[in-house]
């Protein structure tokens, strides 16, 4: 064999290998494909290819026959690989041009859309497999094979029937085995939903709203159309800015042009002063014009009655302490609080922002903190004269409005002092004599030591001594006497 014949044989072998492995990647064939018709003849009579429990067989006739457990994927025979799948197509549809264009495959197309604004195309995503046309199932269930331009005519102007059109690419049957069923030659279903001109919807993220709470409205409609949003009671809601659309107030309506997404998220905030609407509802209406007629859709939002709860930071306090009150409210900001106890009454003055330690955080769910100075509050009777709260149990009532209030108990107790440890006998001149004192609610104590011909008065600061485990002991004082103190003591 001469050199030219040898090289020719090698080239043929290389080309056959390329069909099997795709020059480093698996070749692609389709279920029921006739490889002798699609220029993949080197695969004919190649036998069985496996993928786990699944397999396909390619016989002498060139037909790719799937086994009972077939799944699309990579199949192997020895070291060779083959990608086996179903044929696929790409169906695209767009209305308009430029930044105003919007897709309608898997979405809406609107009646009265001019034919020259509709673009529709279909392309095979599979090499060597062509497409005969579009197999269309109409909303009434009937079927017809159409070319893309024919389907544009069906969808344009007033020709389209309202409802969902199902569109599938029909592959050229000559590429596949004879007698194959139609459903084996169709691509996956793409849908087109024909709706009325301008058809809009409006929905809310929740069916109720609290005062001062922000709620999201979702509005859909025809791109390029002008829509208005109106409220039954205009002052109840404030619309927050949407960075994606320009909204204007026209004749008391919130007006905007629908972007090409066909959807707008609009946030509105319930006005904090709308107390009279609690327990009732509000209708929000979307309005537009279509075919010379006014159209609308609406959503109803209920004004819920918020709740309020409160607690004190500690379970109990000492007389003279600052009592920290923590309020959680979905009903708004408290306007007043009252303290009631035995022979004691107090009503906090407005505004609440003047209360001690006043702090508000949160949006629809607010956390409010304030403090009550138990050593100096005004009595209800004298109003301006300060009055100290004594030992006992009190009820603090926090008020938002006449119907929204909550109570929290407040216990004041007298701090105690006791000697926890003291020496029974002190030897004159003894060093390191200690008295251990427990005293609540104070950072320092005064003490006296007196006896025969001896007197001492001093002050001790709580320096937080530690126990055997190294833990700090709070409210404990250590009074230490040295040799200079004890030598002056007498029996």
* Per-residue pLDDT tens over the stretch 342-369: 888 888 877 888 888 899 998 778 899 9
Which pTM was predicted? Answer: 0.59
Examine the domain organization and report whether 314 and 408 are in the same domain: yes
What integer pLDDT is reported at residue 382 of this predicted model? Answer: 47
Provide the pLDDT for residue 365: 84
Q: Is 87 helix (H, G, I), strand (E, B) or coil?
A: coil
In angstroms, the CA 77 to CA 298 distance is: 62
Alpha-carbon span 110 to 93, nearest angstrom: 13
> Where are the extended beta strands (E) located within 344-453?
344-347, 359-361, 366-373, 377-378, 386-387, 392-401, 404-413, 417-421, 433-439, 444-451
Residues 219 and 121 in one domain: no
Query: 143 and 181: one domain?
Result: yes
Does any domain span residue 491? no
Of 396, 413, 430, the last residue of a domain is: 413
Say if 228 falls within a structural domain: yes
- Give the chain's residues under pLDDT 50: 1-24, 243-244, 379-383
What does the pLDDT look like over 90-124, one tens digit per residue?
Answer: 999 999 988 789 999 999 999 999 999 999 999 88
Cβ proximity of 265 and 242 under 8 Å: yes
Q: Is the peptide bond before 434 cis (omega within 30 degrees of 0)?
A: no
**What is residue 22's predicted lDDT score, i.e. its pLDDT?**
38
Residues 118 and 187 both lie in one domain: yes
Residue with tokens 């979905």: 330
- Whether the bond between 351 and the residue before it is cis, its omega within 30 degrees of 0, is yes
Please report, for residues 55, 191, 193, 330, the alpha-carbon distance to residue 105 in angstroms, rounded to integers and kept in the order given.
35, 6, 8, 44
Residues 205 and 279 in one domain: yes
CB 374 within 8 A of CB 320: yes
pLDDT of amino acid 418: 87
Q: Among the three residues 272, 303, 334, which one is the final residue of a domain in this structure?
A: 303
Residue 138: how many other CB atoms lie within 10 Å: 15
| Domain end position, chosen among 288, 303, 318 | 303
State the total domains in the chain: 5
Query: Do 132 and 178 belong to one domain?
Result: yes
CA distance 44 to 53: 22
113 within a domain of the structure (yes/no)? yes
Whether residue 182 sits in one domain with residue 210: no
What is the model's pLDDT at position 378?
A: 64
For 31, the domain range is 3-85
Q: What is the pLDDT of residues 37-63, one digit of tens each?
A: 877 888 888 999 999 999 999 988 888
């Amino acid at each position: 064999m001469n050199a030219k014949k040898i090289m020719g044989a090698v080239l043929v072998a290389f080309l056959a290998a390329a069909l099997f492995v795709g020059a480093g990647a698996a070749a692609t064939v389709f279920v029921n494909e006739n490889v002798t018709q699609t220029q993949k003849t080197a695969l004919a009579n190649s036998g069985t290819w496996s993928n786990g429990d699944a397999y396909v067989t390619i016989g002498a006739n060139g037909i790719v026959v799937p086994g009972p457990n077939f799944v699309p994927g990579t199949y192997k025979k020895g070291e060779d690989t083959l990608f086996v799948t179903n044929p696929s197509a790409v169906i695209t549809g767009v209305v308009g041009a430029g930044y105003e264009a919007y897709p309608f495959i898997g979405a809406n197309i609107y009646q009265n859309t001019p034919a020259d604004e509709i673009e529709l195309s279909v392309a095979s995503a599979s090499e060597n497999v062509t497409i005969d046309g579009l197999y269309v199932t109409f909303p009434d269930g009937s079927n017809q094979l159409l070319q893309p331009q024919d389907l544009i005519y069906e969808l344009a102007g007033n020709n389209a029937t309202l409802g969902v059109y199902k569109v599938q690419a029909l592959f050229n049957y000559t590429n596949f085995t004879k007698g194959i069923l139609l459903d084996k030659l169709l691509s996956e279903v793409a849908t087109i939903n024909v709706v009325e001109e301008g058809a809009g919807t409006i929905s809310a993220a929740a069916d109720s709203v609290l005062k001062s709470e922000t709620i999201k409205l979702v509005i859909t409609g025809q791109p390029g159309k002008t829509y208005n949003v109106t409220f039954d009671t205009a002052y109840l809601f404030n619309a927050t800015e949407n960075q994606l659309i320009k909204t204007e107030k026209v004749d008391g309506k919130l007006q905007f042009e629908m972007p090409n997404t066909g959807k707008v998220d609009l946030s509105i905030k319930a006005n904090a002063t709308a107390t009279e609407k609690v327990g009732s509802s509000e209708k929000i209406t979307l309005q537009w014009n279509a075919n010379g007629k006014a159209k609308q859709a609406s959503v109803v939002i209920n004004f819920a009655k918020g709740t309020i709860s409160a607690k004190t930071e500690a379970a109990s306090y000492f007389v003279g302490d600052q009592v920290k009150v923590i309020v959680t409210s979905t009903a708004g900001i408290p306007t007043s609080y009252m303290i009631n106890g035995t022979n004691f009454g107090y009503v906090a003055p407005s505004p609440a922002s003047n209360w001690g330690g006043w702090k508000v955080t949160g949006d629809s769910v607010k956390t409010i903190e304030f403090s009550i100075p138990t050593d100096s509050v005004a009595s209800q009777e004298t109003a301006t004269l300060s009055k100290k709260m004594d030992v006992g149990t009190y009820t603090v009532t926090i008020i938002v409005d006449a119907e929204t209030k909550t109570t929290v108990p407040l216990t004041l107790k007298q701090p105690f002092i006791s000697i926890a440890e003291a020496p029974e006998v002190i030897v004159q001149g003894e060093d390191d004599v200690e008295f251990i004192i427990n005293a609540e609610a104070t950072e320092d104590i005064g003490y006296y030591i007196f006896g025969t011909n001896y007197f001492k008065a001093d002050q001790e600061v709580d320096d937080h001594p530690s126990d055997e485990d190294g833990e700090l002991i709070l409210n404990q004082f250590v009074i230490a006497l040295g040799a200079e103190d004890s030598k002056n003591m007498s029996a």
